[in-house]
Amino acid sequence: MPAFTRLFLLLLLCAAFSTSANDDFTALADKLAREQPPQAIASHVANCNSGNAVSCRQVGMYYNQAKAPADYPLRIAYYFQRGCQGFSLDPAACVYLAEIYERGLGVTANAEKAFQAVSSLCNLMQDPRGCAMFGRYLQDGVGTPVNLTQALRHLRTGCDGNLPEACFRAAVILESGDAGEVNRDLAAHYFGASCIRGVELGCRRFQRLGFSDAELPSFYTTALAQLNATASRYVVNLVGEVPAPTIDPADLTVHKSNDIFAPSPTCSEPVMRAQALQINADDKSEQRVKLTLTRGGGFHGLPFMLVRTELSNGQAHWHCLSAEGAEISSHNGMLVYLGTNGRGGSITLNASR
């Protein structure tokens, strides 16, 4: 976005906020200027007064947890609004501010103020959360007239940021053609994107368009993580269509344990989706790590781990593990393919030494 356009938008949005500020905020600002802030947030208040948006949000969060003094709901909104202004606004402050005004949490519900908060976040920063909310407001007419063309553009930004509701809403617009021509293929893409992120209705709408689970869209990423000295938890969305490596059964390390299943079609053939997680070692000395999987709600399919480890001589070994996992050793980190034969969903890899 050109600098002039961004400046114009910023001035327009700030003007909108300033003209909508009520007498309660003015009175509160005067009151806060006279009182001594609690010691726990004194530094954040000072930083907020110096223009630090994150500190403003921190002060709002403090009052949200303290539930005091009596005017704490107004203080929350006041500090979140201060954190949602300027070029260096805090994304979380804008999201919280929008939710407060949309739902009337401790303040009078005000759809226009909710819309203003996320419009600044989306237009100035292209934040996926802000754009997802901005698109929903434009789709439903919350604080603004309905504009499905703009709604679709911002919902797609939200979907690209891994927000399933935004994916589903974008698909609804594309299927209906209300923002232009009907696009069934693209609608299926976004219904599928919501499906593999856990939206069951998205799965049904995807199938209603005549597609099968095998045609779900691909959203694959590789995560890099450092194993801590004690334990680590890595939450992963199995949303890709990248198959786990096809491993010759002879290369699989077979253990006599009920927690590790012998070479099977699940591990020796390409699966519906998988995601790689590289766990780096602190050094090349031998490390023993216990790996287990915890499925999130709505997870579809049989999960497994295909783990590549190294011996001291650099030789690679592959381990096929069920969700119950096992303790394995490696000399130079390990590569864990988290896989499933179903639609997948959220899953947590637990790694402990």
Domains in the chain: ranges and CATH: 3-125 (1.25.40.10), 223-352 (2.60.120)
Residue type, 220: Y
Can you give the length of the chain in residues?
A: 353
Check whether 209 has a pLDDT greater than 80.
yes
**pLDDT at residue 216, as a whole number:** 62
Query: Which pLDDT score is estimated for 284?
Result: 62
Q: Are the C-beta atoms of 98 and 133 separated by less than 8 Å?
A: yes
Contact assessment for residue 91 and residue 71, using Cβ atoms and an 8 Å cutoff: no
Residue 263 has pLDDT above 60, yes or no: no
Q: Which residue has the higher pLDDT, 252 or 312?
A: 312
What's the mean pLDDT in 173-198? Answer: 87
Q: Which of 141, 170, 140 is nearest to 154 (CA)?
A: 170
pLDDT tier for residue 23 given thresholds of 50, 70 and 90: low
72 pLDDT higher than 80:
yes
Band of the pLDDT at 94, cuts 50, 70, 90? very high
Cβ atoms of residues 289 and 227 within 8 Å: yes
Question: Per-residue confidence at 82, pLDDT binned at 50, 70, 90?
Answer: very high
The whole-number pLDDT of residue 159 equals 87
pTM value > 0.85 = no
Q: What share of the chain is helix, strand, coil (3-state, %, to 5)?
A: 45, 20, 35
By DSSP bridging, strand 326-330 and strand 287-295 are: antiparallel
pLDDT of 97 over the 90 cut? yes
**Mean of pLDDT values over 67-71:** 87
Give the pLDDT confidence of 120-155 residue by residue, as tens digits.
889 888 888 999 999 999 999 999 999 999 999 999
Phi, psi for residue 233 in degrees, rounded to 5: -125, 125
Angle at 62 between CA 57 and CA 64, to 5 degrees: 95
For residue 84, give the amino acid letter: C
Q: What are phi and psi of 168, to 5 degrees?
A: -65, -45
| pLDDT of 10 higher than 60 | no
Most confident of 112-121, 200-209, 226-235: 112-121
Worst-scoring range by mean pLDDT, 20-29, 30-39, 289-298, 310-319?
20-29
- Residue 173, pLDDT > 90, answer yes
